[in-house]
Structures are given as C-alpha cells and as structure tokens.
Amino acid sequence: MKDSMIDRKKKNGKPELLAPAGQPESFRAALENGADAIYLGLKHMSARATATNFSLEEVAALLPIARERQVRVHVAFNSIMTAQELPSTLDALQALSDMGVDALIVHDPGVFFLCRRFFPGLKLHGSTLMTAHNHAGVDQLERMGAQRVVLARELHLEEIEEISKKTRADLEVFVHGALCFSYSGLCLASSYRGGRSGLRGQCVQPCRLKFRQGRKEGFYLSCNDLCALPHIPHLKKMRIAAFKIEGRMKDAEYIAQVVRAYRMILDAENDEEGNALEEAQRLLALSPSRKLTWGFLKRDAVKDVLSPHRSGSSGLWVGTIKEVQGEDALVLLRHDLKPGDRVRPESEEGKEKRAFTVSRLATSEGGSLLQGTSGDTVRMETKVPLRTGERLFRIGFKHAPPAQRPLEDGSPSPPVPFRRSFAAREELWENWPQAGSSPRKGEEALIIKVANEADAAKGFQSPARWVMLTASRHNLERYARQRLHPAQKKRMIWSLPPLMTEKDVEYYRVAVQWLTKRGFLSWEVNNWGHLDFFRGIKSLALMAGPRFNIRNVAAQACLAEAGCPRGVLSLEITAEELSLLGKGPWSLKPIVTVYCWPPLFISRLFPPINEDRPFFTPRKDKYFYRKTARHSFIYADRPMNWFQKVPALKSMGYGTFLLDLSDGPFEQGKEMPRLLSGYKRNRSDAPFSLFNYDRKPL
C-alpha cells in the first residue's frame, strides 16, 4: 500500500496537494475533498502548539483510514526541542517510527540527528522554519537526510523556479493561508516580550497588534492571506513535489472548501484551467480569511500583503452591527448566516475580540429564523460586548462532536501498533560525538562581533580573543584589498548574513573560496545554506551561529557532524536549560551570548513606519524600525544583557562568551569601551532585558 502511495504523484504527474488538520473533523474534511496528503501535529513538538492537535493514539487510529484511501500522513514535528525534552522526544519518535508515518516535518537539528541515528526509516522533510530560501540551503538539507524541503514563504516565483532547476530534493511550497510579517524561523518577537516562542509553537502574534507612531495608528505589521490559485498552472510546470495549504487552526468547513478549490485547478486540463479558476475563486470567496493576495510570489504584489488600515482579524465579513439592544444585536447581513456559525467582531484596539457561536437568529421583529440571507437585517443573541458600526466576521462553524460524526462508517481497521518508550535507551550515549577537547578546561574567552572595519580595528585592540566581522559585501571587498597581520587574521572570524537571495549565493560562494585560500579560515555560519560553501575546504574553524537555535545536546551533535566545532547557543535559551546542558555531553564548544540587540522581526516587507522615531503597542511596548534596500528590521527598545549572569554561567561550566555589537537600531561600536567595562565588572547598565534567562522553557 505504501509503495502505491509513493508512486501516486509519479503516475498522475501532478504535485501532491497537502492539507492541514488540527483536529479529527478537519482530517475527515481533507480526506473527503481531495487531499493527496494530510499533515497534522502532535500535542508535543508541534509548531502550532495552540491547535487541538492529536495524541499518538489518534494518529495510530487515523493511519489505517488514510492508507485505505491512499492518502499520506505527514506529522509536523517542527518545534525546537529544549534540553529537558530529549527523553520525551525520543519516546515520540519511537512511536512514529513504529507506526510508519509517511513523513516527519522537522525543524530542530537535534531531531535530524536523532532520526538519522536511531530511526533511519523515518522520512524527513525540512520545515519552512529552517528558512531554506536558496538552492544552497536545499542542497545542504538534502545532505543531512531531508528527502523534501519546504521552501520559505518569502520567495518570488522566479526564485522558486531557479531553486527547482538547481536542486534534486523534492520541494514543497505554500499556496494558501496565513502569512507572517517576519521570515519563518527568524522571528523572536513573541519570545522576547513574553517568553512564548514562535519557534516552539507558542506565538501570540504580536505582528497582528495595532501600533501607534506619533498621531498615526495602524496594523502596520499585520499581513493579509496568501492565495496562489492563479499561479497554480505556472507552478505545476516547475519541479515542485507538493502544494501546501496552511491552516491547522482552521475548522473542518474551511479545510473542505480550500482543498476542494485547489483540487479543481490542480486537476484541470490546460484548456479547462480558466473555468476551473473562476469556480475555485467563487468557492474561496465563501471561506473565512483575511484579504487574499499573491503573497510574495509576484514582486509587484508584495505591496498588497500589508493592510495597515485593517484589523488583523481573519474571516468572512458577514454583517455590520446596526443597533445593540441589551444582549441582542440587529445585524445587516452581507452574506448568509445560520445558527452554529462562529463569528468575531472586528477589533479596533489591536487585540482580537472574543469570538462567539450564533445560537439563535430572528427577524428584526422577533420571528424565528433558520437562516439569515444576504441583505436581511436579523436579530442575534450575543453575550459578547458589541458596538454599533462594528463589522462581524465569520471565522468557522461549530460542528457536532466527533463522536457523532465518525471518521469512517462501518468497522474501521484496528489502530497501528506502536511502542510508547524509546527502545534503545541503553545505547543512547554510545559513540555520541564528543568535542575535541573539554569545553570546561581553559581560561575564559571573549568574542566581540562588530559590523564595520573601524569597529573591528577597535576590537583587535581589546582583550577579546576573537573579533567577528559581519561579512557584508562592503566589508568583504574592503578586506580583499588589505593585508592583515597574521596575528590579526588568526583572531578574525567572518560572520555570514542569515539571508542570501538566490542571486547572492554565487557571490558569497566565490568570496568564501577566495578568502579561505588567503588564510581566513574562521567563519560563523547562520543558515544551513552557508555550510554548502565550505565543502572540500580543509583546516576550517566553523562556528554555528545563534540562528540554528541550539537548545539541546542532539542539536549540538548535529552541528558538530556538519563541521562546526563551536556553536552559539540559542538566544531564546533559559538558565534552566543552560544548567542542564552544562552537564554534557558536549559535541561542540558552546558559546553563550551575553550581550546583543537582535532584530525581533526580519522581513521582506516595508511597513509605513518612519525610521527616525519609535513606535508603540497599545500596552506602550516600544519598538524601533530600520530598513535596508532588501529587508526591514524591527527591534525592542532595549538590548539583551547578561553581564551580571556571567559568574553563574561560569559555575555551570561555560567559558566562551559573545558580545555582539553588530546589530541594533543604533550604531553600537562607540559603546564598546562601556560594554567591555560592564562585562569585566559583571554589571548590566539599564535599560536592558534578560530575555528568557529567568523564565521557564515554554
């Protein structure tokens, strides 16, 4: 049965239509409306932790039903794993391996390592959170064991096509659903402000808030939704393995409509595509969503992604409140409405209002109604505060409980058997990769990271053991014309930028080869694609940067095997995790960032915000905005500073610390003497943030 499912795409020559399911009813809707595959998350290690998600028992029961219909089941195992979660992660991987799920969507490098080592039968797909946005990233993930790579959602059609021509791994692209302001995998905003990491599925969507700058207010960072229906005919001609629909938080009716719409255009012959597109678009018009756009697919369409004048609330605008009478409201309908519909009033405060289910409808005079029709004014009972003039958005439908709507009539096949505990626990640490020398031995070492040549010169005069310089084109070309003293060259580390467009890749590949031949052998890598540049180069000293989000020993082992003897731990890490990690085993020498001012959002969008002054949330949280020719960056109003925690970090076994002055809303090089003094005295000057240091790992 599995072989026939794997061959299905090859037989019909079409990309796989991959649908989301956040609960059993959505799973059924995807099955019944034409999905070739369904992806779902567990209640553990899911990047949509706030969805209902599935227990292992539910997955075991659903697999036979899906296989009977030749529909593949992918499990989104794409959360970052904390140090404490290694045992429970191994147990879950054992169960999924026993079940033989069709694929595992993975983000954490530690999960890659564990699967390759203990569960080689699991097929791995690299999550979009791994920020694969060029062919070098795809190639590197394939070498790590990914059979498919989910491309970043921020790519243009031409970039997707170029990547598809240069790579061999299967590619998956998002074609419908919600968009994030920041690049997936690079957003720190939810974690920085409240400890709820988007990389752990806990995002509280700070980009959906209303912001104020001066006298102007708007939903400056709130994105509309993606709809690639008009581009499916073009995408079908590319080497794309799967079209992915976002929506594990959506209800079954939404899933049914969206899957049916994409099935229409996917199955249409060339001469039928126009009619199929019209019919599919009519179907989607009834589906709750934000304004539908082409997202990043077309360069000139990016300006439509942001709607600063609109609330971030999603849904179908079904009516407007004409009058509020106690717990009743008179509503002028734009679309049909019936009891059981879930609606939400649009917020003007920047925070979504509470949704409610329509329990009863009546005429304006009070006569009972089974359904309200577009153009009618109806009376609706509500228990949510409403105001005259507010718009109501339909966001779903409250279905009957799953027990009353079984996924399969008749006698279902028995659940797939699985073990609940990791079977090779006694062998876990056998032949585990070990750091070349004990990281606990040796004197304390400091790395200073800077953004320009002048600050690098100051760094070389400081007590820092190494000076790291951002590998911008300007800096690379300046240093290519200079002769550096051998002692300085030995102390210097180049830091590659986390984002490189497809056009940038060859420039950096050539630059890396040119500079390594001239003795620059120390480099910080910040994206999986960077590792592709160093293949075949010997005597390197690579360092994994913080964007690899190292928070567990398996992630350390993965990066060490990839060629990084050193690694900067995740900026989101907590003291509790650091204490546990400090006990080892260490596969690489860990580096702890004790000062940085990181961008909380990095985007390919340019919101209507001025760079010359801060902007604020309704709670008075303060942000700064900066932009370059290609990207925009949003920062908190204060840096992360752990100088006062250095003695505690040393007691945990850490000895190499990073002082990062390379980023921030303001030029930080001039602060180097003050910050070095603070580091030496273990004193953090206000205002500063401890980020997640004292928080529980969420």
How does pLDDT run across 514-528, given as a tens digit for each residue? 999 999 999 999 999
Instruction: Kindly state the average pLDDT of the residues 421-433.
Output: 94
Question: For the ranges 265-274, 335-344, 560-569, 669-678, which has the lowest average pLDDT?
Answer: 335-344
**Residue 408 pLDDT > 60, yes or no?**
no
Question: For the ranges 22-31, 88-97, 354-363, which has the lowest average pLDDT?
Answer: 354-363
Which residues of 577-689 form beta strands (DSSP E)?
589-596, 601-603, 615-616, 622-627, 632-636, 640-641, 656-660
3-state secondary structure 33-60: CCCCEEEEEECCCCCCCCCCCECHHHHH
442 pLDDT tier (thresholds 50, 70, 90):
low
Beginning with the edge strand found earlier in the chain, give each strand of the sheet holding 632-636 in spatial order: 216-218, 211-213, 615-616, 622-627, 632-636, 601-603
More confident residue, 368 or 396: 368
Instruction: Kindly state the average pLDDT of the residues 608-628.
Output: 95
Q: What is the pLDDT of residue 48?
A: 64
**Residue 348 pLDDT > 90, yes or no?**
no
365 pLDDT tier (thresholds 50, 70, 90):
confident
* Contact residues for 26 (Cβ-Cβ < 8 A; gap 6+): 20, 248, 250, 251, 252, 255
Residue 16 to residues 110, 165, 551, Cα–Cα distance (Å): 28, 19, 33
Residue 195 to residues 202, 321, 415, 594, Cα–Cα distance (Å): 9, 37, 38, 18
Let me know: does 243 contact 297? Beta carbons within 8 Å: no
Instruction: Kindly state the average pLDDT of the residues 47-74.
Output: 88
310 pLDDT tier (thresholds 50, 70, 90):
low
Q: What is the pLDDT of residue 411?
A: 58
C-alpha dihedral over 233, 235, 239, 243, to 10 degrees? -110
Q: What is residue 240's three-state secondary structure?
A: coil
Q: What is the pLDDT of residue 51?
A: 61
**Residue 194 pLDDT > 60, yes or no?**
yes
Q: What is the pLDDT of residue 385?
A: 84
Residue type, 320: T
Instruction: Kindly state the average pLDDT of the residues 118-129.
Output: 98
Tokens of 519: 């003795």
d(CA 622, CA 626): 14
Residues 559, 565, 569, CA angle at the centre, nearest 5°? Answer: 60
Average pLDDT, the chain: 91
Residue 65 to residues 60, 70, 414, 677, 690, Cα–Cα distance (Å): 10, 9, 9, 64, 49
Element (H, E) at 473: helix 473-480
Residue 332: what are its φ and ψ, rounded to 5°? Answer: -85, 115
Q: What is the pLDDT of residue 443?
A: 75
Question: For the ranges 260-269, 468-477, 483-492, 634-643, which has the lowest average pLDDT?
Answer: 483-492
Q: What is the pLDDT of residue 285?
A: 80
Instruction: Kindly state the average pLDDT of the residues 114-139.
Output: 98
Tokens of 185: 């995998």
d(CA 414, CA 96): 16
Q: What is the pLDDT of residue 488?
A: 87
- Cis-peptide, bond into residue 385, ω within 30° of zero: no
For residue 133, the 8-state DSSP code is -
Let me know: does 105 contact 74? Beta carbons within 8 Å: yes
**Residue 596 pLDDT > 90, yes or no?**
yes
d(CA 182, CA 88): 30
What's the residue count for the chain? 698
DSSP 496-521: --S---TTTHHHHHHHHHHHHHTT--
Domains of the chain: 2-179+225-307 (3.20.20.70), 316-398 (2.40.30.10), 446-597+639-681 (3.20.20.380)
Strands 492-495 and 522-525, by their bridges, are parallel
d(CA 221, CA 467): 35
Beta bridge partners of 550: 569
How does pLDDT run across 1-42, given as a tens digit for each residue? 333 333 344 446 789 999 999 999 999 999 999 999 999 999
366 pLDDT tier (thresholds 50, 70, 90):
confident
More confident residue, 267 or 52: 267
d(CA 93, CA 111): 9
Q: What is the pLDDT of residue 4?
A: 35
Let me know: does 137 contact 547? Beta carbons within 8 Å: no
Question: For the ranges 232-236, 369-373, 405-409, which has the lowest average pLDDT?
Answer: 405-409
Q: What is residue 151's three-state secondary structure?
A: coil
Residues above pLDDT 70, as percent of the chain? 92
Which residues of 310-462 form beta strands (DSSP E)?
316-325, 328-333, 341-345, 356-357, 361-363, 368-369, 377-381, 391-397, 445-450
- Other CB atoms within 10 A of residue 150 CB: 27
Nearest residue to 292 via CA among 365, 228, 388: 228
How does pLDDT run across 226-242, given as a tens digit for each residue? 999 999 999 999 999 99
**Residue 109 pLDDT > 90, yes or no?**
yes
For residue 613, the 8-state DSSP code is S
